[in-house]
């Protein structure tokens, strides 16, 4: 296993590049998903660091195809707006930069994390509560889309730490 950075998101995303040996070791994936683009996990955290709570989304996306995949949009009927954010560190300063799209190289995994790449979510009029499940639709440059169910969690909750083809680690 080796790390391979995203072209535009080298400092923000964690990509795990693996050969096909042992990819189904955890038994979670169907053989057909090994050669597909799959959102493997999705969380939405409610952040209360400021006077107005905000939402951040975190996805784990596997690109098992032989070409780069480009995510152009994420939408939900529940939310007003969802944007891609990349955290950039320059010296002692950290800056959140909005991105129009995200790229995932072939046979790689995008692991969104706080302080890296994440989704900034404007909830609109109604803030969801921890424990709710919300449908998100992920759109790709090739015209395909995928609906996934995101679990809303309190800020202090741990988000999934899964790497494609590796068993899930139980937190104690």
Mean pLDDT of 37-46: 93
pLDDT digits (tens, 9 = 90+) for 92-144: 888 999 999 999 999 999 999 888 999 999 999 889 999 999 999 999 999 99
pLDDT at site 168: 41
pLDDT at site 163: 52
Average pLDDT score, the chain: 77
Mean pLDDT of 140-154: 94
pLDDT at site 76: 97
pLDDT at site 34: 62
Query: Is the Cβ–Cβ distance between 118 and 57 less than 8 Å?
Result: yes
Note the pTM of the prediction, 2 decimals.
0.73
Higher local confidence (pLDDT), 52 or 85? 85
* Bridge partner residues of 149 (DSSP): 135
Mean pLDDT of 25-30: 42
Per DSSP, the residues of 93-133 read EEEEEEES-EEE-TTEEEE--TTSEEEEEE-TT----TT-E
Give the Cβ contact number of residue 82 at 10 Å.
19
């Amino acid at each position: 296993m080796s790390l391979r950075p995203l072209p535009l998101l080298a400092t923000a995303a964690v990509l795990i590049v693996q050969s096909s040996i042992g990819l189904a070791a955890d038994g979670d994936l169907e053989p057909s998903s090994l050669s597909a683009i799959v959102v493997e996990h999705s969380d939405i955290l409610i952040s209360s660091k400021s006077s107005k709570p905000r939402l951040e989304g975190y996805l784990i996306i596997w690109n098992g195809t032989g070409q780069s995949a480009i995510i152009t949009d994420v939408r939900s009927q529940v939310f007003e707006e969802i944007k891609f954010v990349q955290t950039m560190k320059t010296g002692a300063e950290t800056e959140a930069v909005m991105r129009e799209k995200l790229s995932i190289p072939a046979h790689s995994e995008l692991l969104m994390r706080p302080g890296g790449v994440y989704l900034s979510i404007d909830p609109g009029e109604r803030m969801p509560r921890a424990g709710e499940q919300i449908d998100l639709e992920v759109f790709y440059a090739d015209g395909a889309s995928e609906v996934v169910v995101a679990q809303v969690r309190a800020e202090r909750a741990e988000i999934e730490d899964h790497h494609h083809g590796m068993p899930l680690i139980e937190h104690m």
